[in-house]
Structure 1
């Protein structure tokens, strides 16, 4: 009971400082936990610790009987640069993120259950205010999306060879966004225009167009949406919801184990903030005038996709474990559009914004992501009784069509190559670590902006059994 009480306080603490995690398999991490990450992220059919809650919860029943507590830290180092012909390169300064994770499992043989909290994934970049990404607005361009899960798994033994599991999960998402757009791009999204990259509509846009028709506004230099806080751990706009997983493992013989898991699509509420701003720099009376409109933001219909994972683990020798997984991620269903509604406050502190008080704008950026197929293979070799080494590869397709690539959300990494190791300190404790490298990929958006993205990451975990 003391252990569960301590774990509860630790979990609550991590929930309130849940940090961002960044894109590898789309917006997912390439591996959850250093054991799985060390073998390319494969995790469906063998014991990979309490991080099995994020992979296949049925694997929690494959561990030794008793209690297990894992405490982990992950370090992600994305390297993202945006380029445009005739402009100086814009390098993202968002290059290091640290994420904690914690999990507890009690295995009593016929069943296992537990509690854990982990980072699911996300995206993020930050470009300087004097870069071309700022579109002349004089303020930086920034995105930071983070998604986390509180997982409660339950595992049952069907027979000596088969275990099945279900997990119920609380999900939360946070988003910071400082998104500038050139006047040309913003105007192209209005009704009656080309709308190749997205759309804007609503009473604010109708009012804007009426001002232009009357000659009060004769041009638009840039526009931007801003909702961002200074926290390293929580986004300005936040939403909450639920999800679930089901999984199973089957031991074919003493050497071969098969596993499968289904992760449901999340049911998240809108990501909302009362501290947002829509700003426009327009030409009025022949002079550039900035109109800052304060209000509320709601990011609509943002969900994490359903996922299916299949895998096998083959104990080739006493020392050598060979693992392989396939994962299908249904991004097409959840990442068709990025949609948000900005509603202006009824009272505006800036006189220039008074004409927009109480109005609203619905903004949609087309995404049209493709489903992702990820193949994971790896080896684990026990060098000695306490020491194990691991290596693996994680091969996937880029889910983002070049046409709709947004430099604020460049989740275009394809492949990862991983190394890992584990050391048993004694019978009750041990450490595991993993390194991952994603080679640089390059893609050019329909806007003409070219993104390059490579990434290094590391994970370390301490385990205690009692």
Structure 2
């Protein structure tokens, strides 16, 4: 009876999460979240070798073999502060994006079939990009064409209009894990279903350089679905050392047809592959240290990685993109068992900035420049079944400056500079029930 009631509650929570995730927008390591699950998030996202909740399958599918039958539900308040400063032919334009508060849920359930086989499912927002400029803040994109490129200098008397983009992604990952060697070695696999939607507004000035001018901006939300997979391994090498690794394939998504004139390859916006390796080390009876190394292969997706300086129509195979490079990320975490009922966590996450100075104009719409992330968190065991957890994250301001060029003469001519900037705050609360 208890399990039947729980399954009904899980279904209701899943529906609620789907609705809430419609407003999700993470952008910490590029546009990926720095971690999944409130416990891992308290340690800067580390945890490929230290599974502690059902959400561990989002990092390493093999990890669910260690967590038993349980349900985990988290909600994050995420607040990115982003904007730009530009100087164009003696004129200064400075603005901050609106829409600074997002509420992002994630939930997961695992069920131990027996001592060697575990199944589970998770639902979470993988990442997102969001900017919302209004009034004179939008003047950077209010331009008239200078040949094959555009100047961000606003026309005289321009009062602005809404400008920005919104990319949202939802992952659903049914997962299976099997243990060998008396529980010392586990392998796992997840099938990934991804749903994403995108909207752009206020980019009409770019229609003239597009292969499909009517599919550049202000076409409401476009949606696409896709499939991929994730595999992982977890090895408890000794009583105090665990090692883990996982690989997530590129997720092949359908095209954003309504924005086929904006993104390269006619609106193709796949989700890049990632891989992670790491370890967990119990250095004292009450202390565990973790370290993860992650790679996000943004260069696999032309809409993300094509340089914005490409001299080709928007929407074409070699059309301008955001110019993002693939990045490496190091995650360091510490967990202290302060009392039998209380765990305290700390972490530091350092990722490379994927954006170069040449691409600042396009990345005004997607300033995913963050590098350092500082985290902390805790878990309190209410009783043998229930836990409450929390985590916080702060990412200090990072900026990138580049030169703006006019290429109408065939030779790039500098006419200004622009700096894009961003900092972030996040707070997460979670509830867990162990059966």
TM over 0.5: yes
Hey, what does 2:180 align to over in structure 1? 158
Hey, what does 2:153 align to over in structure 1? none
2:33 aligned with 1:29, yes or no? yes
**What is the alpha-carbon distance in structure 1 between the residues aligned to residue 201 and residue 423 of structure 2?**
23
Alignment partner of 1:103 out of 108, 116, 129: 108
Distance of aligned partners of 1:441 and 1:102 in 2 relative to their CA distance in 1, 3 Å threshold? same
Q: How does 1:420-459 map to 2 (within 5 A)?
A: 420-447=377-404, 448-459=417-428
Q: CA RMSD in A?
A: 2.5
**What is the alpha-carbon distance in structure 2 between the residues aligned to residue 176 and residue 298 of structure 1?**
17
**What is the alpha-carbon distance in structure 2 between the residues aligned to residue 362 and residue 253 of structure 1?**
53
> How many angstroms does 1:133 deviate by?
3.1
Hey, what does 2:164 align to over in structure 1? 142
TM-score w.r.t. the length of structure 2 is 0.83
Partner SS, residue 56 of structure 2:
helix
2:89 aligned with 1:122, yes or no? no
Alignment partner of 2:211 out of 197, 201, 214: 201
Hey, what does 1:210 align to over in structure 2? none
Q: How does 1:63-462 map to 2 (within 5 A)?
A: 63=67, 65=68, 67-85=69-87, 86-107=91-112, 108-131=114-137, 132-135=139-142, 136=158, 138-160=160-182, 161-180=184-203, 182=205, 189=209, 200-201=210-211, 225-228=217-220, 236-273=221-258, 300-334=267-301, 335-337=304-306, 362=315, 364-405=319-360, 406-447=363-404, 448-462=417-431
Deviations for 1:139-193, whole angstroms, at most 9, x for unmatched residues?
21121111110110100012221000000121001112114265xx766x4xxxx
**What is the alpha-carbon distance in structure 2 between the residues aligned to residue 87 and residue 128 of structure 1?**
17
Contact 2:290/2:333 (CA < 8 Å) preserved in 1? yes
Hey, what does 2:409 align to over in structure 1? none
Aligned residues: 386
> How many angstroms does 1:21 deviate by?
2.0
**What is the alpha-carbon distance in structure 1 between the residues aligned to residue 178 and residue 16 of structure 2?**
30
> How many angstroms does 1:419 deviate by?
0.8
Hey, what does 2:155 align to over in structure 1? none
**What is the alpha-carbon distance in structure 2 between the residues aligned to residue 298 and residue 330 of structure 1?**
18
Once the two structures are overlaid, the 10-residue window that deviates more, 11-20 or 165-174, is 11-20
**What is the alpha-carbon distance in structure 2 between the residues aligned to residue 362 and residue 315 of structure 1?**
51
Gaps of 5+ in 1: 190-199, 206-222, 229-235, 279-296, 340-359
**Structure with a larger share of its residues in strand:** 1
Deviations for 1:203-252, whole angstroms, at most 9, x for unmatched residues?
x69xxxxxxxxxxxxxxxxx972133xxxxxxx11101111100010011
Partner SS, residue 132 of structure 2:
strand
Hey, what does 1:211 align to over in structure 2? none
